Structure 1
Amino acid sequence: MVKRRLIPYKADAAQPVNAAFGIFCFNVVDVPNEKLYDKGEKSSARGKAGTQMEYEQFDRRLARECAKAFSQSTGLGCTLSDKTGRAFDEYGYGCESCGMCAAAGASHDRCVQAHIYGMTEAERFGGKYIYFCPMGLTCFVSPILGEGGAEAKITVGPFIMVEKQDFIACELTENVRLTEAQKQAAVQVLENIPFVPTERVTQLSVLLFMAVGFMNNVSAENRMMESGHSEELQGQITSYILELKQEEAPPPYPFEKEHVLLQCVARKDRDGARRLLNELLGAILFVDGGDMELVKSRLYELLVLISRTAIENGADAEHTMRLSHEYRYRIGAFTTIDSLCLWLAGVVNHFMDDLFRFSDAKHANIIHRCTQYISANYKERITLEDTARMVYLSPAYLSRIFKQETGVTFNEYLNRVRVNKAKELLRRRELRMTDISLAVGYEDQSYFTKVFKRVAGMLPREYREKILVSRKD
């Protein structure tokens, strides 16, 4: 049995959110140690009786004690859940108790996906991650690791990092766009949600990480293989090879299937991608099965194409390229076709799960960071290119997902925020139009006037007169 020791280092500036909060991250190294945990209890069987069972590779009792102690000592909600988002225990006011989604008429599933995405990012960025749920509330998480990666997680939150009135004005009014009835219900829920200053959140996330860290133990037992899936994989490959053998002449490499496979990846069609990959593997083995090195070379070329397609369709470029680099070395270590096939099935699952499963939550988190950036910097010169650089996306891709998530273009949203801020300033009679224009990010007053009329339906002067008349009445 080995235990993981956590070696701290300063977070790199390229890491999102964590770096923004100045958080320390940790490397994980294995050191010899006596067995600490039992295998744990079996989870419920998936599918029919006799199918593969999963085992918990963490000590749930210790995890419960950790979550309970953290909640009682900090006054924050703390939830212990598995990697699929299923909650085991909740202490204090956690996500399961939060009624914000219900108040807004939103599905709780979006929150679950956001928490799973947060766990995935925490695993990538050194063991902790601060993020926002779809309703704009803040959480942070540390994963409990097993040999196969994150097996469970402890999530702290929800809470807010701004004053309640600012949260209502920015999140509930500007970003989530609730109806008046929904907004009133959400404001009532907000009374139960604690406020935590940003600098304290940073330290609390480190504290949670250190508390969870000793549980991040690598089990002495190897992960159990999904034998049913493995047999299905081998059957599909064998069946396709038998079809090829019926043809009179050796068929050429099916480039058309390769193209359709990449289309399935782009559409997030998991079943189609797996089926086509198995058929392509069968074609490669049929033609080059006698040359193991040539098989490896062709498979790596295929994996590179899949990774590039993933990046083009919104996958995290840095993470995907790192996977591709790792696969280059792993693929060379296989000595049998059977082991290579099993590994390839796992690689496909990894791509489809990690790169696409949480895309909606990832987009929500990215858009939330963009809208917060706009709210904090609307007085300055803000461009789509600068904002895209901040969230490590191309301007074209950010523009597309911004419109999908918010219903308006990036510039339309920016102008709406600036006009709303200008409306507040127009209530102050002593401020000149030129001063207001500059204060909300417009250097040209005439352009400010045009934008204001387009958004508000009237000129700034007319809006001011309307407000002054209403005050007299």
Structure 2
Amino acid sequence: MLFLQYHNCDDCNMSKKTTANIKLKDLFSKEQCKKVEAAFMRNFQMSLEITDIEGREVRSFCSPKCHPAFCKRIRTSKTGLHRCRQDRLRSLNISIETGQPYITVCHAGIVLGCVPIMESDLPLGGLFFGKSAWEPFDEDIESDIQKRLQGLRFGAGDIRNALRKLPVISARRIHEAAEFLYILFYQNTDLDPQVIQWRRQRSMQQSRISEVIQETKLLDSTETYPYELECQLIAKVKIGDRTGAKEILNSLLGRILFNNPGNINLLKARLVELLSVLSRAAAMGGVDINILLNKNLIYINKVLTINTQEDICIWISHALDEFIESVYTSQDAKKMQQLKPAVEFMQTNYEHPLMLPDIAKAVHLSVSRLAHLFREQMGVTVVDYLTNIRINHAKRMLLTTDNNCTRICYEVGYNNQSYFTRVFKQITGLTPRQFRNQNKRK
């Protein structure tokens, strides 16, 4: 797997120096562009405006009606045209930096979507679409738009008539169009989307980590390192559960960053330790230890050369992918793959009163075979694993809902509150009520 270096804002700074000699028509054809436009119009009834990196229209690539009457009216003013271009430059900067579509409300008060155009790490321009209203116009919206247009000499009647002709498109539909166009464009051109996809993954990961940090603020814990999450991550790596492992990794990173905000050296130290943990997990999953030692040395050297928090986080996620891929190809991969359906079944059905025979039947294994594989590969019993899933969900519900303990007991799969309380206390050291009172902020 190729690990891409982060390109900071200077790389997508709309610099004439990097893009002056590159034209969009040199990188994809008018025919390719028309194919994208036709498919987009067919599915979403929206036209496309294509600009270069400086926010200037490339008219030969634009749809014939890329500007509705309202936009045309605004652009007849020199000031209006300047504001439109500034909107595009701003949207280009954000979409290229994050590697994903960007949707905003333009200076004139209507929706504007942007999909970035990049060739590898080189920013080239953008696809603009969705010039519409979120909701039907009324007096309040019209008044807001009139205020936005102060300084532009237009008659109120002209603006009102143009506004009434704009399509009304829901926010959900605009977001669906953005995702569709993003995929459609890169599938139908010869541009290399590798860097932009990496940036998008980085942005999505940082969004999830931010959510974890906000959730962690609800806790009043003195724990400096989430060893419980580390153990869960090891279990996911051992069975080759890529999706589950990434979710836990992001939670782990969020907790580390919450406890040590802005301390990149400590983050590096924690991740060097984590790489060793992942190596051991992969070894337990059947991967040759000599292969892992070589990988680990490369990974550790790599971590030490990265100097931004965001890049370290996405890089460790890619390293996790490689560890899991190693497990998949190991000699014990078949055993781990037999366990994966059982793990997934428990994760999606924990709220039901499951017994060991129920789980074995669902994954087409005998009870003895399932119990043996689980103990051998996971180091815990099936019942213990299911119990941990239930208690973790109960802890989250105690902190994020106002449901009483009895209701939570039933919602996580127990039918006896006394037994639920006893199990909860065995694992956490507190009763459910004590856990809520001690950890939930007033």
User: TM-score if structure 2 supplies the norm length?
Assistant: 0.35
Please state which structure has a larger fraction of its residues in helix.
2
Please state which structure has a larger fraction of its residues in strand.
1
